[in-house]
Amino acid sequence: MPSGSNLKTAVIAGTLLLSFAACRHTESIGNKRVSSSQDKPQWMVPDTTELPDNEESRLIKYGRALVVNTSYYFGPKGVIAHKSNGLNCQNCHLSAGSKPFGNNFSLVAVGYPRYKERSGTVETIVKKVEDCFERSLDGQKIDSNSAEMKAFVAYLKWIGKNVKKGTKPAGSGIDEPVFLDRGADTVKGKLVYISKCRRCHGADGQGKLNTAGNAYVYPALWGKHSYNIGASIYRLSKFAGYVRDNMPFGADHKKRQLTDAEAWDVAAFVNSQPRPVKNVSDDWPKLATKPYDYPFGPYADHLFSESQHKYGPFAPVKKYYALLTIKQ
């Protein structure tokens, strides 16, 4: 008879198997949702042109400039210091963090400080910026007392000032694509990349630099100048949702150019390519809180392989962890 954690896993697994059997005939429709973004409040993005002429406004505008042109200030040829790989914050947070479903900043002001499961600590906006530098920009964090950090924080607080605490505006974050009844396919994803992404990001995925060579017009998607394995976008659901609602260039959540399947597959292809490594062994200290698509073990379950956690199929994995959270 199993004991301890193995017994708990066995009980949950048995419950899940019954649950899967009961809904097997509907599982192929994935995670289709019936709720609509129309039910959520609309985010009124503030306009920098309406800012008064004072010191606080100048700090906010400087913060926006840092988001848009991060590499100019902190890239390999940065005028302040070399702290990043050459990407801009705006490469992941489109339109200076204001685009619906473009990984925007609408919830930052009201969302921090807060407890984050990834670190197992209470985090501030400063920590969020530091994480972006160390993960998405594969660099080093900047001085937390610097004028630049103060500008980042001022901008992030200002852009989300119209969001009420406890609400989640339509278009915030990244919208999760409908699950497939198979794993994401890197071979199919390569074909999507060739037809939809190569023109801007290059056959080698290294993007395109501007004429000055100090910032990317189109960011590198893999290799030494791309995000590292600790970045949130390295999770397939994040990458797939982001590209489905924003890529190729000119697409948005109302005018998508990728299907859900194409988004999952191209995400699998891009995130299977070589990129910088980061020590993530301390991330998600409570195993039961790891996201269903977190690509690195150990896991709270003994049912799904590391490959399934990375590439899917995700429906049974997500269902397992939802039930595990309820049981605890």
Domain count, the chain: 3
Place of tokens 């915030």: 172
CB atoms within 10 A of CB 148: 20
Digit-coded pLDDT (tens) for 287-297: 999 999 999 99
- Domain end: 131, 159, 187, which one? 159
Q: Which stretch of 16-20, 155-159, 162-166, 297-301 has the lowest confidence by average pLDDT?
A: 16-20
Which position has the higher pLDDT, 38 or 321? 321
Which residues make beta-bridge pairs with 218? 208
> Residue 14 falls within a domain, yes or no?
yes
| Statement to judge: residues 138 and 108 lie in one domain | yes
Nearest Cα to 74, choosing from 159, 133, 1?
A: 133
Q: Mean pLDDT over residues 261-268, rounded?
A: 98
Whole-Å CA distances, 233 to 11, 22, 108, 226: 33, 33, 17, 11
pLDDT of 10 reads 39
The reply to whether 207 and 308 lie within a common domain is no
Distance CA 100, CA 175 (A): 10
Element (H, E) at 275: none
Q: Give the structural domain span for 140.
A: 48-159
The pLDDT tens digits of the residues spanning 60-81 come to 999 999 999 999 999 999 999 9
Question: Are 200 and 266 members of one domain?
Answer: yes
Do residue 87 and residue 143 come from a single domain? Answer: yes
Closest alpha carbon to 109 in 156, 168, 65, 172 = 156
pLDDT value for 35 = 40
Which among 152, 171, 155 is positioned nearest to 60, based on CA atoms?
155
Task: Give the CATH number, domain containing residue 193.
Answer: 1.10.760.10
